[in-house]
Structure 1
Amino acid sequence: MSNEDINQSLKLFIVLSRAYRAINENVNKLIQTYGLNPTEFAVMELLYHKGDQPLQQIGGKILLASGSITYVVDKLEEKGYLKRVACPSDRRVTFAQITDAGKEMIESIFPNHEEKIHELMSELSKEEKATVIELVKRLGLSIASK
């Protein structure tokens, strides 16, 4: 392993980190205009697209510490966007379920969210996006298996 290889790996790390930060900051600003924080939006998006979710599993699906989930779910429940539903077959499990008001809210904001992400990614062609997806996915999977 040469110094050049090491320097290139470090540069890749910095470039990926800065790109992620820039994208995330832009998207988070938009999310805040909806009266949500990024974590609340992530929970709402998960429930909208994947249906009812056990509270214990939400954190792992949106990359959030499980202790924070209760707080986020409480806030979304106060806003009327979701409700807790007991599992009929296992009293230890409680599901988060999106409400009609929550569906209405996410359906009204998600098209704008999609458009913003598309706009942020528009620097790359369709083919370049496919290449980046393939390479970054490969990198992530190789790291996860170590």
Structure 2
Amino acid sequence: MTATDPALTALAQGWCALSALHGRIEALIERALQAKHDLSVREYSLLDVLSRQHDGEGGHLQMKQVADAVVLSQSATTRLVTRLEDRGLLERYLCPTDRRGIYTNVTETGLRLLEEARPTNDAALREALYEASRNPELAPLVRAVESLNVPA
């Protein structure tokens, strides 16, 4: 393929459209969460991921798994955990079977904030997708996102 190859050009245009859709969605959700709950999108995502942990086998996530789930580096995730811990939304503890491991749980305060913020997040997501669906370049991507049936 060359730089002027139509397939490569189409691929690049598709990537640009996907990036634009992501940016629009994230910006709208960010504004809504900040205004109503003093949370960033990343903070909300972290609380959401950690709230899904359970006491069964493999139910608690290691920091690398958390970082992958919220699409941040391990160091950025650790800083984010520290900020939310300072706000009383998360707590860390040593793994009972491996003293080298540190786990993070959402506190009761964090769970309450997450439940209050969830409708805001969901409404902002729906609004962002609706707005994007009116753009001919983004509409096919919106339909693709809406057709996904991803298990929680």
Which of 120, 124, 129 is residue 116 of structure 1 equivalent to? 124
Partner of 2:42: 39
Compare relative contact order (CA 8 Å, sep 6+) and give the higher one, 1 or 2: 2
In structure 2, stretches of 5+ residues that fail to align are 55-59, 134-139
> Residues of 2 paired with 1:130 and 1:21: CA distance?
13
Instruction: Give the aligned residue type for 1:68.
Output: A
Return the offset for 1:66: 0.4
Instruction: Give deviations 1:36-75, integer Å, cap 9, x for gaps.
Output: 2222221111112345433342111111110112211111
Which of 62, 66, 73 is residue 58 of structure 1 equivalent to? 66
Q: Give me the TM-score of the superposition, normalised by structure 1.
A: 0.77
In structure 1, stretches of 5+ residues that fail to align are 137-146
Going from structure 1 to structure 2, the CA distance change for 1:69 and 1:107 (only over 3 Å counts) comes to same
Aligned residues: 133
Asked if the contact 1:84–1:95 (Cα under 8 Å) also holds between the matched residues in 2, the reply is yes
% of aligned pairs identical? 22
Asked if the contact 1:58–1:69 (Cα under 8 Å) also holds between the matched residues in 2, the reply is yes
Aligned positions of 1:35-114 closer than 5 A:
35-51=38-54, 52-114=60-122
Partner of 2:97, secondary structure, is: coil
Please identify, of 92-101 and 55-64, the stretch whose mean Cα deviation from structure 2 is larger.
55-64
> Residues of 1 paired with 2:123 and 2:44: CA distance?
16
Please identify, of 69-78 and 2-11, the stretch whose mean Cα deviation from structure 2 is larger.
2-11
Going from structure 1 to structure 2, the CA distance change for 1:134 and 1:106 (only over 3 Å counts) comes to closer
Name the one with the larger helix percent: 1
Structure 1 stretches of 4+ with a deviation exceeding 4 A read 128-131
CA RMSD in angstroms comes to 2.6
